[in-house]
């Protein structure tokens, strides 16, 4: 029955490759996986909360920036002698607002937060919003004015895409400090409408010119509804090849700039495409009657809206405009990207911790299994070894009961006492082994001479040596001194000498060489089989039962000696020689 159980246990252990067991191992792995996932989710959640605060802080800065810029411009207008320096009436405010809200969307939009803004007048009507914009400075008899043109009012979607492509190339890195394409514009002959746009490739070396082959306009657009008709422009540029836009008209506007929201932050044309895909950033209502001072949706993708009043005049009772800022935010995505290294290191640390715990548990279970197996072996070995002395004691006790001869009674009593002493020695050895295995034993430090120890042991085994007529030779070049407990060291060396005597042949030899750092004991007995040699120091391992002629030992002698020597940081080596077995104890 026990054999079948052992086979089942071995089969189960083999299936799971260990002593831990599949269920416990799976539980530990799942527990570590759950801890890892939950801790990473918690870290990501905390991080994304911080991102939300950063997004809100950016919105506040944008709001304050637009406020400051518009207030500064309004103050400059008030102290200017000519109130129409930026155009007729308050048109400069609309142009400036278009530029402010578009630049805010351009500069502040990132992969994880895309910004747009809109401005409503005092009546709640939409006055300006973030859009694809072209701005320029217009000079007339009254001075210089900045004009803003929403491209969607003039160009088709395909034309805006083309122009954005050229502007996107200006954001790409190249070997020259300047831009790749120069964008110029012209206004209509009548009014301040957008009349034309011209894109020209800039060349910084003759090699670039040769490679391009064409130095003309790369792309141009002209407002066919209000085509340029200014005679002065045509007089300065009498020949218009390929019906190109006159240079005079293009040079009339200075500081031409194209703004495509989302194209900043090293994102280029891809960032613009992402911004354009967000309808929430573009679809502002035509009227705005109920300002939201803070509104934000939850979820993985957040939509935030806030509004503020702009006072450009000196009357702070009635606001001139209402500024609305919208934001599409990806806090979870940014938190995930920012914590990628944390995920990797956390995963590696979790795997390391899980492996370490599994190893410790496996080691613990393995040790427990070995102890249980050793306990079974111990019980079986003790029961087996106790049979002989108990049988002898029983036999002599029965003889003692039947025989009243005084001389035989004395002999029987001596044998009984001898058998009980043998059993007592066996029990003491087991107790000492138990102390060593449990770690309760603490080595005692006292100087011990191995030469004196060997001399005492030699006299102890004189009777056995004389019976086998063994020749013992002891040589000592320099004594081996050990700091330890003499009782246990004597027990260890005694076990070695006992084995050398017991397993020696008749009229054999024992050579004992003592040196400063080692003691070598060699006999001329039977050799140890190669398969038994690595295991002779294992507890309860007796090896070949025929060695020595009979099974006389419990299998603890060499184990006990090895454990004692290891307690004093010494090493026990056992090897076969040509004539027998050699045992070496070295520091």
Look up tokens 């939509």; give the residue. Answer: 303
What integer pLDDT is reported at residue 90 of this predicted model?
Answer: 63
Q: Is the pLDDT score of 340 beyond 50? A: yes
pLDDT (mean) for 274-294: 87
pLDDT (mean) for 210-224: 77
Q: Is the pLDDT score of 341 beyond 90? A: yes
Q: Is the pLDDT score of 404 beyond 70? A: no
**Listed residue (200, 108, 94) closest to 148, CA to CA:** 94
What integer pLDDT is reported at residue 184 of this predicted model?
Answer: 92
Strands (E), 110-227: 113-121, 126-129, 133-140, 143-150, 181-187, 194-201, 217-222
Q: Is the pLDDT score of 231 beyond 50? A: no
pLDDT band with cut points at 50, 70 and 90 for residue 239 = very low
**CA distances to 3, 25, 174, 357 from 19, in Å:** 18, 10, 63, 14
Q: Is the pLDDT score of 133 beyond 90? A: yes
In the structure encoding, which two tokens stand for residue 80, read together? 């200017």
pLDDT, one tens digit per residue, over 328-337 is 999 999 999 9
Q: Which residue has the higher pLDDT, 506 or 401?
A: 506
Q: Which residue has the higher pLDDT, 359 or 76?
A: 359
For residue 164, report the phi and psi dihedrals to the nearest 5 degrees: -65, -35
What integer pLDDT is reported at residue 71 of this predicted model?
Answer: 86
pLDDT (mean) for 102-130: 93
Handedness of CA 316, 322, 323, 329 (dihedral sign): positive
pLDDT, one tens digit per residue, over 377-387 is 667 766 766 77
Query: Could you give the CA distance from residue 369 to residue 312 in angstroms, rounded to a whole number?
Result: 86
pLDDT, one tens digit per residue, over 421-479 is 878 877 776 777 666 666 666 667 788 888 888 888 888 788 888 888 888 898 988 88
- Percent of the chain surpassing pLDDT 90: 33
Q: Is the pLDDT score of 288 beyond 80? A: yes
Query: Could you give the CA distance from residue 567 to residue 171 in angstroms, rounded to a whole number?
Result: 74
Do the Cβ atoms of 524 and 509 come closer than 8 Å?
A: yes
Contacts of 435 (CB under 8 A, 6+ apart): 441
What integer pLDDT is reported at residue 72 of this predicted model?
Answer: 84
Q: Is the pLDDT score of 89 beyond 80? A: no
pLDDT band with cut points at 50, 70 and 90 for residue 46 = very high
Report CA dihedral (396, 402, 404, 405) to the nearest 10 degrees. Answer: -60
Judged by average pLDDT, the poorest of 328-342, 404-418, 535-549 is 535-549
Query: Could you give the CA distance from residue 489 to residue 572 in angstroms, rounded to a whole number?
Result: 13
pLDDT, one tens digit per residue, over 159-214 is 999 999 999 888 777 666 677 888 999 988 787 889 999 998 887 766 766 666 66
Q: Which residue has the higher pLDDT, 366 or 215?
A: 366
Q: Which residues pair with 119 in a beta bridge?
A: 128, 323
Contacts of 236 (CB under 8 A, 6+ apart): 246, 247, 248
What integer pLDDT is reported at residue 21 of this predicted model?
Answer: 79
């Amino acid at each position: 029955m026990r054999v079948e159980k052992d086979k089942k246990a071995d089969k189960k252990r083999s299936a799971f490759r260990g002593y831990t067991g599949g269920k416990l191992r799976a539980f530990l792995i799942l527990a570590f996986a759950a801890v890892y996932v939950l801790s990473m989710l918690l870290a990501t959640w905390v991080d994304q909360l911080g991102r939300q605060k950063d997004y809100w802080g950016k919105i506040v800065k944008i709001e304050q920036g637009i406020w400051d810029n518009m207030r500064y411009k309004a103050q400059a207008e008030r102290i200017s002698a000519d109130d129409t320096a930026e155009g007729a009436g308050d048109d400069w405010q609309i142009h400036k607002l278009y530029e402010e809200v578009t630049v805010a969307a351009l500069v502040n939009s990132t992969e994880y937060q895309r910004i747009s803004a809109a401005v409503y007048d005092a009546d709640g009507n939409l006055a300006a919003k973030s859009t694809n914009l072209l701005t320029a400075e217009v000079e007339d008899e009254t001075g210089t004015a900045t004009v803003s043109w929403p491209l969607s009012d003039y160009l088709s979607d395909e034309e805006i895409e083309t122009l954005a492509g050229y502007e996107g190339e200006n954001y790409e890195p190249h070997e020259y400090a300047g831009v790749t394409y120069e964008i110029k514009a012209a206004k209509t002959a009548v009014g301040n409408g957008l009349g034309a746009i011209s894109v020209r490739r800039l060349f910084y070396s003759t090699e670039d010119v040769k490679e391009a082959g064409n130095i003309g306009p790369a792309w141009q657009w002209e407002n066919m509804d209000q085509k340029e008709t200014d005679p002065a422009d045509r007089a300065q540029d009498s020949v218009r090849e390929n019906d190109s836009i006159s240079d005079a008209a293009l040079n009339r506007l200075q500081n031409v700039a194209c703004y495509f929201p989302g194209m900043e932050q090293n994102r280029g044309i891809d960032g613009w495409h992402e911004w354009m895909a967000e309808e929430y950033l573009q679809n502002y209502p035509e009227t705005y009657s109920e300002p939201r001072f803070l509104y934000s949706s939850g979820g993985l993708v957040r939509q935030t809206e806030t509004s503020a009043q702009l006072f450009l005049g000196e009357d702070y009772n009635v606001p001139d405009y209402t500024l609305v800022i919208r934001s599409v935010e990806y806090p979870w995505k940014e938190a995930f990207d920012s914590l990628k290294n944390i995920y990797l290191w956390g995963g590696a640390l979790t795997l390391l911790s899980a492996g370490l715990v599994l190893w410790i548990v496996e080691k613990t279970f393995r040790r427990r299994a070995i102890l249980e197996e050793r306990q079974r072996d111990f019980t079986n070995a003790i029961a087996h070894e106790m049979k002989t002395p108990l049988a002898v004691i029983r036999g002599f006790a029965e003889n003692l009961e039947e025989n009243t001869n005084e001389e035989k009674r004395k002999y029987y009593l001596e044998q009984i006492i001898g058998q009980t002493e043998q059993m007592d020695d066996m029990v003491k050895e087991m107790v000492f082994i138990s102390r060593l295995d449990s770690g309760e034993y603490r080595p005692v430090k006292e100087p011990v001479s191995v030469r004196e120890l060997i001399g005492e042991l030699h006299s102890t085994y004189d009777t056995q040596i004389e019976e086998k007529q063994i020749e013992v030779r002891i040589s000592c070049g320099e004594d081996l001194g050990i700091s330890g407990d003499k009782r246990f060291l004597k027990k260890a060396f005694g076990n070695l000498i006992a084995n050398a005597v017991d397993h020696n042949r008749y009229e054999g030899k024992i050579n004992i060489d003592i040196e400063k750092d080692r003691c070598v004991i060699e006999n001329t007995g039977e050799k140890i089989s190669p398969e038994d040699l690595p295991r002779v120091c294992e507890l309860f391992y007796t090896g070949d039962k025929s060695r020595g002629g009979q099974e006389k030992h419990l299998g603890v002698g060499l184990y006990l000696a090895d454990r004692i020597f290891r307690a004093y940081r010494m090493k026990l080596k056992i090897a076969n020689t040509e004539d027998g077995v050699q045992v070496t104890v070295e520091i």
